[in-house]
Structure 1
Amino acid sequence: MQTTHDDPYLIISSDCHAGLPTERYRPYLESAFHRDFDDFLAQRDARIEESTRLGIRNETFARKWFEEHEEGLRGGWDAAQRVKELDGDGVAGEVVFPDADAVDSGTAAPFGVGLGLSGDQDPELGMAGARAHNRWLAEFCSTHPERHCGVALLPVTGEVERVVAEIHRARESGLGALMIPAMWVDKAPYHDRRYDPVWAAAAETGMPVVTHSGAAPRHEYGDHLGIYVSEVTWWPARPLWFLLWSGAFERHPGLRFGVAESGCWWLPNLLWFMDRLHLGAHGGKKLSPFADLKRPPHEYLDRQIFVCATNTKRRELAQRYEIGVDNILWGSDFPHPEGTWPRTREWLRETFHDIPVAETRRMLGQAAADVFGFDTAALAPLARRIGPTPADLGQPAGQGPVEESWRRARETGRHWLTGHDFPFVGRDTGVRET
């Protein structure tokens, strides 16, 4: 899509959430599981009480949040209210993950297979709950298919044939991506070849595979919420290196993999470390060659990996030339309170005011359109109506000074590859550093 400097931004949020109030999933769930569903609902109050006790739920904040945003929060499952909220934020398109309510878990998918999706669910209940949510989500997204890319829940650690069948069923229903558990617990890790048919099906259908923050071994943390907060974004990132080092991206070049709502601050140092190992850094010389990789890790990153960097921070934008501008997909996290809604326009101005316009366009929408298959031509008229302009974000018409201010960072890029100066690294590639 051709644009001029002054054109409004076409914004696609790579991380939004939707889900029915839990009890309303019943019509989408096979009748054989209704009794189990009743048991699940009966335990809901106990789960909320436990979250409050552990400090995961702040009672005072929760009450205020629901009172102040009652109307807008209905957009978590009401399609008409949702487009009103998206329009107010200037968001033309969105990638839709589960669990609209991140405070009380009042919109959790049946049997806890939403953001808490883990590898240890009962295989029958897990798949039944996932299918129920996927059926509803396909129906929900069909109201404005050009604006919504629905993320199907996929309990991938279950029976492979059923998992592959659900991929194709979800695709045929109109969903566009797949969310797998961040944790496999006692099941086979993701380097196991048993998952190859799953990765192949995802590539064949053009459905990106995504993990999302939420699941973590909470039973290990006791009442120490800080431990949970410190680790919760690590678990969804972990599958990345399992897939990469086991050669999954080499065997399935059409597979796209992303990590959602875990930031992207961790990626530059991880990429630097993995590249050095593959390129023969001194500290890795005693290790056997990495035969499953035919190219260095950064090439797989640029070809197949992305980060749904929800509420992208200034610190992360400063690292964008190491991460790769096209690998950063901004997200609003609507309607979660830790996201930018309903102040997205203000957040964007505070965050992107000194970022070059061309790069801003990639991170705010175009990169997500490429990954998730949005029709930018169909969204263009909407973007012209609701999207903020560069001027709205405080970005000057004359881009020369802005471009110049980032010139050194841009030229340095991935310093271990470009040979440019970086603190503690000489003009070598960094491969031989000790």
Structure 2
Amino acid sequence: MTDPHDPYLIISSDCHAGLPTEEYRPYLEARHHRDFDDFLAGRDRRREEMTRLGIRNEAFATKWFDDNEEGLKGGWDAGQRIKELDGDGVAAEVVFPDADAVDSRTAAPFGVGLGLSGDQDPDLGMAGARAHNRWLADFVSEHPERHCGVALLPVTADPGRVVAEVHRAKESGLGALMIPSMWVDKAPYHDRRYDPVWAAAAACAMPVLTHSGAAPRHEYGDHLGIYVSEVTWWPARPLWFLLWSGVFERHPGLRFGVAESGCWWLPNLLWFMDRLYLGAHGGKKLSPFAELKRPPHEYLDRQMFVCATNTKRRELAQRYEIGVDNILWGSDFPHPEGTWPATRAWLRRTFHDIPVAESRRMLGLAAAEVFGFDTARLAPLARRIGPTPADLGQDADQDAVTASWARSREVGRHWLTGHDFPTLGVNP
């Protein structure tokens, strides 16, 4: 699919699936069934608390479920899911937990889905994760070429059990790993106790990801704005713990991504970290960064990526700082804050003036490389369902479109191209 008019091969780097919670029972070990009953009994209380905090809007929830009743079944029904993906023009997807982001009706057992956190009971946390992973392996096996299942990995548990689950998940057909964004009272991710886990993930070619969701909600009171303001910060935080502690240097085969947190925060962070490493005035008084052998942007380009769900125009304007190949678009299906069921219209509004070659990378080809999708196998499907550049409003002269972005592309990472300050080590 090299003709500029060919349909796009679109891969969503952030979608969600999960059983209605009570249906996870067959996937749980019998010794955890009583604890599971207690967990189910607390659902109404948790829903009431969500409403009280303003996280749940009753009128919106009612309309959402009424308007999308059939499509939402795609959260756990494989046949319905394929229908919804086809309708959106999405050839393949990366599948995270918790299909229902309104009422948590599909929460993974013991709250280990998007709320996966280091303060969960180690035994129950692993049990709930394994139950979801077993179900997810069955789910993605029906159309394995179209799904990369993300295994839940309570990485703060006993390292031996964690490594065993990495290998078990890989053998079951899952392709990536989601770790807690927050370790709470457990060892931070710079601790060497996690090295066997990073090594196992690299050996299995399973990217490690965090995803927005977990946050210290007990600190926020009734102030939802506080939660919304920093919910994307927590999944990004492990990135600099892994980077500065040399994890990416010790494990060059490890891939790490941050999902559903946007990528608007990355240019300034990368600028700041590069300047520190390269000897900007404020960093000279610090000890040498002995764990790193190269500047942060090189690790980003080699090993890191952002599943930039619902990528915004502002973020696309910063793509030459972030790196085009580091931005992996996602639809967030079937969450209401995502682009489904109007993905085609959303793509037209957002990508209409982005060069086709760059759009192909961000909308699918970069994700195919990170998550190991077989593009040759997906190509016939993409030709059938994928929107064309013309469908996205990209039918203008591509030479002219590319030229319109020439200055931004030339400046790129301005702190490296001489467009920020003339000599590294001098404060602008």
Question: Which bracket does the TM-score occupy, shorter chain normalised?
Answer: over 0.9
Write the distance in 2 (CA, Å) between the matches of 1:268 and 1:416: 11
Q: Spell out, residue by residue over 1:287-312, the C-alpha distance to the aligned partner (whole angstroms, 9 max, x if none).
A: 01000000000000000000000000
> What residue number does 2:74 align with?
75
1:163 has 2:173 as partner: no
Q: Spell out, residue by residue over 1:381-432, the C-alpha distance to the aligned partner (whole angstroms, 9 max, x if none).
A: 0000000000000002520110111000000000010112xxxx34x15531
2:278–2:424 Cα contact (<8 Å) kept: no
Paired residue type of 2:368:
A
Using the TM superposition, give the Cα deviation of residue 193 of structure 1 relative to its aligned residue in structure 2, in angstroms.
Answer: 0.1
Write the distance in 2 (CA, Å) between the matches of 1:322 and 1:359: 14
Write the distance in 2 (CA, Å) between the matches of 1:33 and 1:342: 37
2:199–2:254 Cα contact (<8 Å) kept: yes
**Structure 2: runs of 5 or more not aligned:** none
2:93–2:146 Cα contact (<8 Å) kept: yes
Write the distance in 2 (CA, Å) between the matches of 1:307 and 1:175: 20
Q: Spell out, residue by residue over 1:37-68, the C-alpha distance to the aligned partner (whole angstroms, 9 max, x if none).
A: 00000000000000000000011100000000
1:297 has 2:292 as partner: no
1:415–1:429 Cα contact (<8 Å) kept: no
Write the distance in 1 (CA, Å) between the matches of 2:314 and 2:323: 14
1:416–1:429 Cα contact (<8 Å) kept: no
Instruction: Tell me how large the CA RMSD over aligned residues is.
Output: 0.7
1:100 has 2:94 as partner: no
Q: Spell out, residue by residue over 1:46-101, the C-alpha distance to the aligned partner (whole angstroms, 9 max, x if none).
A: 00000000000011100000000000000000000000000000000000000000
Write the distance in 2 (CA, Å) between the matches of 1:400 and 1:130: 49
1:259 has 2:258 as partner: yes
Q: Secondary structure at 1:219's aligned position in 2? A: helix
Change (3 A) 1:409 1:430: farther
> What residue number does 2:416 align with?
417
> What residue number does 2:4 align with?
5
2:56–2:103 Cα contact (<8 Å) kept: yes
Aligned runs of 1:216-295 on 2, under 5 Å?
216-295=215-294
> What residue number does 1:210 align with?
209
Paired residue type of 2:336:
P
Q: Secondary structure at 2:234's aligned position in 1? A: coil
Write the distance in 1 (CA, Å) between the matches of 2:133 and 2:424: 46
Write the distance in 2 (CA, Å) between the matches of 1:404 and 1:256: 33
Write the distance in 2 (CA, Å) between the matches of 1:3 and 1:120: 48
Using the TM superposition, give the Cα deviation of residue 3 of structure 1 relative to its aligned residue in structure 2, in angstroms.
Answer: 1.2
1:116 has 2:115 as partner: yes
> What residue number does 2:132 align with?
133
> What residue number does 1:14 align with?
13
1:307–1:329 Cα contact (<8 Å) kept: yes
Write the distance in 2 (CA, Å) between the matches of 1:43 and 1:288: 50
Q: Spell out, residue by residue over 1:262-283, the C-alpha distance to the aligned partner (whole angstroms, 9 max, x if none).
A: 0000000000000000000001
> What residue number does 2:146 align with?
147
Paired residue type of 1:433:
N
TM-score of the two chains, using structure 1 as the length reference? 0.98
The percent identity for this pair of structures is 85
Aligned runs of 1:375-414 on 2, under 5 Å?
375-414=374-413
Q: Secondary structure at 2:73's aligned position in 1? A: helix
Write the distance in 1 (CA, Å) between the matches of 2:24 and 2:407: 53
Write the distance in 2 (CA, Å) between the matches of 1:65 and 1:20: 18
1:110–1:130 Cα contact (<8 Å) kept: yes
Using the TM superposition, give the Cα deviation of residue 350 of structure 1 relative to its aligned residue in structure 2, in angstroms.
Answer: 0.2
Q: Secondary structure at 2:235's aligned position in 1? A: coil
1:41 has 2:35 as partner: no
1:417–1:429 Cα contact (<8 Å) kept: no
Write the distance in 1 (CA, Å) between the matches of 2:321 and 2:172: 38
Q: Spell out, residue by residue over 1:295-353, the C-alpha distance to the aligned partner (whole angstroms, 9 max, x if none).
A: 00000000000000000000000000000000000000000000000000000000000
> What residue number does 1:177 align with?
176
TM-score of the two chains, using structure 2 as the length reference? 0.99
Aligned runs of 1:348-363 on 2, under 5 Å?
348-363=347-362
> What residue number does 2:194 align with?
195
**Structure 1: runs of 5 or more not aligned:** none
Write the distance in 2 (CA, Å) between the matches of 1:286 and 1:417: 22
Write the distance in 1 (CA, Å) between the matches of 2:92 and 2:160: 32
Using the TM superposition, give the Cα deviation of residue 13 of structure 1 relative to its aligned residue in structure 2, in angstroms.
Answer: 0.0
Write the distance in 1 (CA, Å) between the matches of 2:211 and 2:88: 23
> What residue number does 1:371 align with?
370
2:279–2:424 Cα contact (<8 Å) kept: no
Change (3 A) 1:418 1:114: same
Q: Spell out, residue by residue over 1:137-176, the C-alpha distance to the aligned partner (whole angstroms, 9 max, x if none).
A: 0000000000000000000000000000000000000000
Write the distance in 1 (CA, Å) between the matches of 2:396 and 2:150: 37
Write the distance in 2 (CA, Å) between the matches of 1:148 and 1:400: 35
Number of residue pairs the alignment of both structures matches: 428
Q: Secondary structure at 1:175's aligned position in 2? A: coil
Write the distance in 1 (CA, Å) between the matches of 2:280 and 2:164: 43
> What residue number does 2:425 align with?
431
1:202–1:255 Cα contact (<8 Å) kept: yes
Paired residue type of 2:251:
H
Using the TM superposition, give the Cα deviation of residue 110 of structure 1 relative to its aligned residue in structure 2, in angstroms.
Answer: 0.3
Using the TM superposition, give the Cα deviation of residue 433 of structure 1 relative to its aligned residue in structure 2, in angstroms.
Answer: 1.4
Write the distance in 1 (CA, Å) between the matches of 2:357 and 2:3: 10
